[in-house]
């Protein structure tokens, strides 16, 4: 019987936490569904009395399912890439394959989905307007929002840096072999290193339209 390598074990460990919505690598260069250009004026935090509303529960469940599906798919490809070519190869997966995964999940679940941070790797992973205030104050608790105009629903879930993610997001002097070079080539303005295990790294965001229909994109 062949034992899994330490890399696989590490990412299996990571997967359990990420899918629980508690730990992960944060914005690792993935351009997910672009944050919609929509006014934040109508958005507000979901009130306690609304959390048990059937419509809100259904939207919350869709958000959770989409987030879990995206990371299950992405982690599978990252694990394969690391086994094949090391952590530098994972940077390539994040840059080249992850956007397609996110778009597939978004279309399948009828949501917009992404990750963001106060220290971005990919500058396109901008903060949705409705989440701007929570991100600015570095919220460390999951947050839910609703648009009073459309009844759209959104979630913002904190990400803390898991141990395996230090290879690509830890102190620059301890990054895995080839990572610094891959980042310099892909993301010369990268701001996503220098973190320690357990640090708040960023957030998952998911936006779920009311009635299961996505509004047309705006420009």
The pLDDT of residue 29 is 57
Mean pLDDT check: name the lowest of 17-31, 161-175, 197-211.
Answer: 17-31
Q: Contact 122/98 with Cβ under 8 angstroms? A: no
- What distance in Å separates the CA atoms of residue 190 and residue 52, rounded to the nearest whole number? 41
Cβ distance 97 to 120 under 8 Å? no
Phi, psi of 167 (to 5 degrees): -60, -30
- Helix 54-85 vs helix 6-19: angle between axes, to the nearest 10 degrees? 170
Q: Is the pLDDT of residue 89 over 50?
A: yes
33 pLDDT tier (thresholds 50, 70, 90): low
pLDDT attached to residue 19:
44
Residue 9, pLDDT above cutoff 50: no
Contact 92, 183 (CB under 8 A): no
Domain locations along the chain: 26-212
Give 24 or 38, the one with higher predicted confidence.
24
Return mean pLDDT, the chain: 83
Beta-sheet pairing, 143-147 with 43-45: antiparallel
pLDDT category at 93 given cuts 50, 70, 90 is confident
More confident: 93 or 13? 93
- Report the alpha-carbon distance of residue 5 to residue 7 in Å, rounded: 5
Strand partners, 153: 146, 208
How far apart, in whole angstroms, are the C-alpha atoms of residue 147 and residue 40? 8
Which of 13-22, 70-79, 126-135 shows the highest mean pLDDT? 126-135
E strand or H helix that includes residue 160: strand 153-161
The better pLDDT of the pair 7, 131 is held by: 131
Task: Give this prediction's pTM.
Answer: 0.82
More reliable by pLDDT, 94 or 123: 123
């Amino acid at each position: 019987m062949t034992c899994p390598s330490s890399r696989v074990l590490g990412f299996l460990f990571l997967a359990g936490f990420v899918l629980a919505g508690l730990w992960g690598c944060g914005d690792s260069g993935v351009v997910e569904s672009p944050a919609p250009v929509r006014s934040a004026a109508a958005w507000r935090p979901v009130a306690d009395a609304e959390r048990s509303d059937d419509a809100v529960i259904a939207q919350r469940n869709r958000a959770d399912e989409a987030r879990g599906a995206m990371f299950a798919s992405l982690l599978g490809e990252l694990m394969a890439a690391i086994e094949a070519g090391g952590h530098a190869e994972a940077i390539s997966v994040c840059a080249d394959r992850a956007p397609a995964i996110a778009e597939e999940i978004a279309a399948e679940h009828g949501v917009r989905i992404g990750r963001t941070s106060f220290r971005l790797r990919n500058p396109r992973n901008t903060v949705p307007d409705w989440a701007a205030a929570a991100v600015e104050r570095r919220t460390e608790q999951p947050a839910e929002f609703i648009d009073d105009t459309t009844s759209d629903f959104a979630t913002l879930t904190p990400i803390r840096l898991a141990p395996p993610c230090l290879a690509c997001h830890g102190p620059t002097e301890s990054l895995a072999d080839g990572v610094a070079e891959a980042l310099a080539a892909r993301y010369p303005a990268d701001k996503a290193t220098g973190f320690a295990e357990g640090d708040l790294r960023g957030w998952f965001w998911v936006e779920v339209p009311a009635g299961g229909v996505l509004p047309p994109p705006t420009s």
